[in-house]
Amino acid sequence: MTSTLLHPVPPGLRRGAARPSWKYAAPSVFYPLAGRLLPWLYAVGALLLAAGLVLGFGFAPTDAQQGDAYRIIFLHVPAAWISMVVYLAMAFWGAVGYVFGTRLSFMLMKALAPTGALAAFLCLWTGALWGRPTWGAWWVWDARLTSVLLLLFLYLGFIALQAAIEDPRRADRAGALLAVVGAVNVPVIYFSVQWWNTLHQGATIRLGAAPSMAPDMLAALLLCALGLWAWAIASVLRRLRAIVLEREAGNDWVLKLPEVGA
């Protein structure tokens, strides 16, 4: 009597078994999924951000030292978080694309850059609005401010480099190298208030420590952060879909899309 367990697994089934974990790396699979997520991300982001701003500007208590000027924190801090995490994500996907040659990784790296640049600009702009009444100056060459300005220049340099190279493959590899090298600046931003004597205050929220702010302030900050993150993810996915259509133009699956066929 022969057991079926002795028969080798067909190669096609072995390849298919790995498909669930990798199938979303295919642009043809990822494109419609991103399209379904976009309306939900925009709706959730708008609701969370609106709730956070109402709570933060309307109900959170006035700070004992900074007065109402501190309320810019509800936009400033989430923008700072997004600008740093997005750059790390851009460097990560650039490295993945560089090592494994996956097309979608390079596309995602490119789609992340404008959102990160806008978040870095928002962080600097709101920081200037906060610094004027607090420090008496719009700008100081503080370690954290300077390193965030460098982050904005890295984003802009990445975008310019991608636009200057006509060959997409060469542009992707050059952009990935710049993103990976520039990622060294992110820990400098985060630890700058600990490494140097700066005007910028330390972290308000730390892992493993109780937050140094009132519950209403913390709730408003977290709501605004989640709302801006939903917006950031939606903007990246929307831009990524456009890049996918541009680079995959001419493929059968693109030609069959209703928005392309129309």
Among 76, 86, 42, 68, which residue's Cα sits nearest to residue 221?
76
**Burial tier of 148 (Cβ tally within 10 Å: 0-12, 13-18, 19+):** buried
Rg (CA), the chain: 22
In a domain, 12, yes or no: no
The predicted-structure confidence for 90-131, as pLDDT tens digits, reads as follows: 999 999 999 998 889 999 999 999 999 999 999 999 998 887
Greater pLDDT, 168 or 258:
168
Contact 162, 173 (CB under 8 A): no
Task: Please state, in angstroms and rounded to a whole number, the distance separating the CA atoms of residues 80 and 89.
Answer: 14
What average pLDDT does the segment 44-73 reach? 91
In a domain, 6, yes or no: no
Which CATH number do you get for residue 73? Answer: 1.20.120
Read off the pTM: 0.86
Percent of the chain scoring above 70 in pLDDT: 83
**Burial tier of 256 (Cβ tally within 10 Å: 0-12, 13-18, 19+):** exposed
In a domain, 39, yes or no: no
Among 77, 79, 162, which residue's Cα sits nearest to residue 116?
79
| 78 has pLDDT over 90 | yes
In a domain, 213, yes or no: no
The per-type count for the chain, helices as H runs and strands as E runs, is 11, 0
What is each CA distance from 78 to 82, 142, 191, in whole angstroms?
6, 20, 17
In a domain, 116, yes or no: yes
In a domain, 23, yes or no: no
In a domain, 27, yes or no: no
Task: Please state, in angstroms and rounded to a whole number, the distance separating the CA atoms of residues 256 and 238.
Answer: 19
Task: Please state, in angstroms and rounded to a whole number, the distance separating the CA atoms of residues 39 and 50.
Answer: 17
Structural domain boundaries enclosing 190: 51-198+218-261
Among 158, 148, 225, which residue's Cα sits nearest to residue 192?
148
The predicted-structure confidence for 4-49, as pLDDT tens digits, reads as follows: 334 343 444 344 444 555 666 788 888 999 999 999 999 999 999 9
| 3 has pLDDT over 90 | no
In a domain, 20, yes or no: no
Contact 80, 204 (CB under 8 A): no
Task: Please state, in angstroms and rounded to a whole number, the distance separating the CA atoms of residues 141 and 143.
Answer: 6
| Per-residue H/E/C for 114-139 | HHHHHHHHHHHHHHHHHHHHHHCCCC
Dihedrals phi, psi of 12, to nearest 5 degrees:
-65, -35
Task: Please state, in angstroms and rounded to a whole number, the distance separating the CA atoms of residues 117 and 23.
Answer: 30
Amino acid making up residue 7: H
Tokens read off for 225: 């952060």
The domain total for the chain is: 1
What is each CA distance from 112 to 116, 140, 141, 197, 236, in whole angstroms?
6, 29, 28, 32, 6
Greater pLDDT, 132 or 234:
234
Which pLDDT score, from 0 to 100, does residue 12 have?
40
Among 165, 193, 197, which residue's Cα sits nearest to residue 178?
165
The predicted-structure confidence for 165-224, as pLDDT tens digits, reads as follows: 999 999 999 999 999 999 999 999 888 777 766 656 666 665 555 566 788 999 999 999
Which pLDDT score, from 0 to 100, does residue 224 have?
97
The residue count for the chain: 262
